[in-house]
Structure 1
């Protein structure tokens, strides 16, 4: 397992802004309401028809989000806090609640959320808070891309969660950039180079916005848990018979996982952030691993322990991510 390393850069960019907030309860932090050699994206070339497969896999459980009311600075997080932004791999809410939230507002009752975004009680941000005792403001949301995270950064600033005393800001979104939500951002998701360029621009903008308010905060870019078997490229969508996962090869999904990691490494270097390796350390815990070792669920799955959404992390997977980030905190 590699240790987190800071990487430097002198290039930054700027970008747009946006609009809100909600509360729930959780233990220690306050709450309100993809091993082999990795190929970089081919320069310019299009993915073609198979892009639809990867887009479907990447965006499998993501849904759009609604916004809630704004908050006052009285609710701001204390000095030395961490702000954690990410997509559904981070938020990782209960699947039934998440799929019905637009028609049943009761799903928010007694369940953690932030401005319309449901969040699991044992997701990586909450486990990070429990592990370190550091206040963590969870701004993760299903369906987030790096572009969508810019809006969440603006909201976290407006809410007082990102402030001059903030210790670290975690920027975990990126995989959804290759799926339908990346297309909604106006990016040609069939062109890996276009996805990469848009992601890097978003990360420069994110770093600029964070540092304008919290110049001393460490920006952390964590990798993502391995989904497909990194050797065979098989994604196991059916996990029903104990320790007998059933899957099929999805080479493009493995490529997207590797491209996403390469993008994150490059972004961290360019914006002077700390990249935290997650993919290598989770390479033996992919969707086709034995039940007790599996950290990412299938689609039809009765054997992965303690997971909340199909195609998403188990509690143990989120715990691994939390431990890796804890080791990178200043």
Structure 2
């Protein structure tokens, strides 16, 4: 009888279908693509290819840890949209095309790109230098005029192309396009601590808003979820008190690259990425 009971139990178990995989299970294969706002240069500790200046406390690392996901972090300081499909030469070695990290088995992709296409780093340096001659004026706005708006619009189709290629390589992946965290306050600034002329602070802040608006529109048109890292960041910009600062100024007070998120800023971005994932699951 004991043997018969065992045989019957095995037969019932074999006939019972396994439970379906949960639709909201954590992403198991996560590819992170992007520029320095993704890589987190100068935030301890550096990992991966030295020339890309990736931090193991950037938001991809924090998101992967929270999801218990296998991370392939291809982000690289200085990357442009073109570096998604071509090797990127750095001061120390060459980063492979970032899209190489996306495969058919990838279940989550985050992308943070476009700032270097617009010329973010050079703009910051140029505006800083111009402020020395006219700290109360708006020399940067005079220098660039509508040119930055044009650059942003020219970057839109490049970002859209990257999103389409991600979908093609990983048709079952959830794709998130991550925006840029607020750098400047809405007005005034804090010259000379942050050498941006008073009149240029609202000009550059508005330009960043336009950049994020372009990214949000591009994400919506190309099957991606936009992660807004700019909203609700008042009082955490480069002029904020040290204990409240999420991004660093041109002379960083915390380990991070100038005019980039610090470790706390990366934690905030990771929280928003995770919230966007949860919201898209619940929708």
The two structures have a TM-score, normalised by structure 1, of 0.59
The secondary structure found in structure 2 opposite 1:238 is: coil
The runs of 5 or more residues in structure 2 that have no matched partner are 1-26, 88-94, 124-143
The residue aligned with 2:116 is: 176
Q: What is the deviation of 1:248?
A: 4.2
Q: What is the deviation of 1:282?
A: 2.0
Matched, 1:138 2:73: yes
Which structure: greater helix fraction?
2
Q: Taking CA–CA contacts closer than 8 Å with sequence separation of 6 or more, which of the two structures ends up with the larger relative contact order?
A: 1
The two structures have a TM-score, normalised by structure 2, of 0.68
Alpha-carbon contact 1:170-1:220 (below 8 Å) kept: yes
Matched, 1:155 2:97: yes
Matched, 1:224 2:180: yes
1:274/1:180 CA distance change after superposition, 3 Å: closer
Alpha-carbon contact 2:83-2:98 (below 8 Å) kept: no
Number of residues of Structure 1 aligned to a counterpart in Structure 2: 223
The residue aligned with 2:170 is: 214
1:115/1:166 CA distance change after superposition, 3 Å: farther
1:146 & 1:233 partners in 2: Cα distance? 33
| Alignment equivalent of 1:320, drawn from 268, 277, 280 | 268
1:323/1:143 CA distance change after superposition, 3 Å: same
Q: What is the deviation of 1:297?
A: 0.8
Matched, 1:204 2:144: no
Matched, 1:309 2:238: no
The residue aligned with 1:122 is: 57
The runs of 5 or more residues in structure 1 that have no matched partner are 1-78, 98-109, 240-245
1:291 & 1:93 partners in 2: Cα distance? 19
After TM superposition, where is structure 1 displaced by more than 4 Å over at least 4 residues in a row?
180-183
Alpha-carbon contact 1:149-1:173 (below 8 Å) kept: no
Q: What is the deviation of 1:167?
A: 1.3
Q: What is the deviation of 1:134?
A: 1.5
The residue aligned with 1:293 is: 244
The residue aligned with 1:90 is: 38
CA radius of gyration, larger in: 2
Alpha-carbon contact 2:118-2:155 (below 8 Å) kept: no
1:146/1:281 CA distance change after superposition, 3 Å: farther
The secondary structure found in structure 2 opposite 1:275 is: strand
Give the RMSD, CA atoms, in angstroms: 3.1
